Amino acid sequence: MKLSDFYYDLPQELIAQDPLERRSESKLMVLDRANNTIEHKHFYDVIDYLNPGDCLVINDTKVIPARLMGVKEDTGAAIEVLLLKRKDDSTWETLVKPGKKARVGARIVFGANLDKCDEITGKITGKLVGEVVDIVEEGNRLIRFEYEGIFEEILDELGQMPLPPYITHKLEDKNRYQTVYAKHDGSAAAPTAGLHFTKELLDKIEAKGIRIAHVTLHVGLGTFRPVKEENILDHHMHSEFYMIDKDAADIINTTKKNGGRVISVGTTSTRTLETVGDENGYVREASGWTEIFIYPGYNFKVVDSLITNFHLPESTLLMLVSALYDREKVLAAYEEAVNERYRFFSFGDAMIII
């Protein structure tokens, strides 16, 4: 299967740069596989396509303000650090720009007062200092941080949300790049299908008799990494950490036993479920790293329906959606979304495949 099989033409102006004022008022495209139809709704109408006895699976990962702007301790040269993966309490794998200024031993100061230096050493001081201790795969840097107090509180003060590269507007409210049910710190990007839900909508869904199961998958920046191989089977999938507890597994398995549908919110929830699912569609309590790559020809074991945003051309996310439904019909739906002026990508509109 070729990479070009997943290309579609997207006008630049349809890439959403800002979230809507009200989360659930985004558009919702409804793809009905049984009847081969497309409907155009609003996201708050999603409840009409959920039935009592169904299960909605949401990813409760929380995006950390992982982009830090710093300066070299000795020269004051500007350096940007993006936290990717926590190794221990004080050490992170990071992406550093420009990398040539971040050799092993380099020290980077964050929250610095450039008008004030240490009286003894003459070096720049700040609230957080990181030292490059190693260079690892793909040129990423291991940085060990020094600080006083609680790292998460310092990060919340100094860090910025690591918005995708196609979003150029400044995000005024950090919470708009979080789901309303975000709980477990660890993502470098939001599970964007979940951004459309409000607490009120979730309450209505539960009141209708749909159970909600929480899983966790920490979204890495690999989700934005372009596929470069023309034969998609040659693509190396990025690895992401997931967790599913016994309560969530019990809800999902009970739904399956009773004949209800498992409706996954987002590709991240989907990857988690399909990683831990057995051949009968049942899941287990588990945690670990997944590199699952889902593309057309894949047989879904757990997921029956999917709520998702509109994804980049030639992306692994579009391949996953095309695996759940017919690739040509998905691309036709994307073409209709373009014609109907849907908003695309992270802050964009949504679809449900039933």
| Segment 18-46, tens digit of pLDDT | 999 999 999 999 999 999 999 999 999 99
Q: What is the distance between the alpha carbons of residues 284 and 229, in angstroms, rounded to a whole number?
A: 34
Q: How much is the average pLDDT of 79-88?
A: 92
Question: pLDDT tens digits, residue range 278-321?
Answer: 999 999 999 999 999 999 999 999 999 999 999 999 999 999 99
Q: At what angle do helices 316-324 and 327-339 cross, to 10 degrees?
A: 110
Q: What is the distance between the alpha carbons of residues 111 and 234, in angstroms, rounded to a whole number?
A: 42
Adjacent-strand bridge partners of 83: 94
Can you give the C-alpha Rg of the chain in angstroms?
A: 22
Q: How much is the average pLDDT of 210-233?
A: 92
Residue 82 confidence (pLDDT): 93
> What tokens were used for 83?
């936290």
Closest alpha carbon to 72 in 121, 125, 120, 116: 125
Strand-pair category, 55-59 with 262-265: parallel
In the predicted model, is pLDDT for residue 247 greater than 60?
yes
Closest alpha carbon to 315 in 164, 96, 177: 164
**Contact indicator for 216, 248 with CB cutoff of 8 Å:** no
pLDDT band, very low/low/confident/very high, at 118 (cuts 50, 70, 90): low
Q: What is the distance between the alpha carbons of residues 219 and 120, in angstroms, rounded to a whole number?
A: 43
Adjacent-strand bridge partners of 61: 184
Q: Give the predicted TM-score (pTM) of the model.
A: 0.91
> What tokens were used for 268?
């991240």
Residue 9 confidence (pLDDT): 97
Closest alpha carbon to 145 in 186, 185, 109: 109
> What tokens were used for 119?
């009286």
Q: Phi then psi for 17, rounded to 5 degrees?
A: -100, -20
Q: What is the distance between the alpha carbons of residues 225 and 239, in angstroms, rounded to a whole number?
A: 12
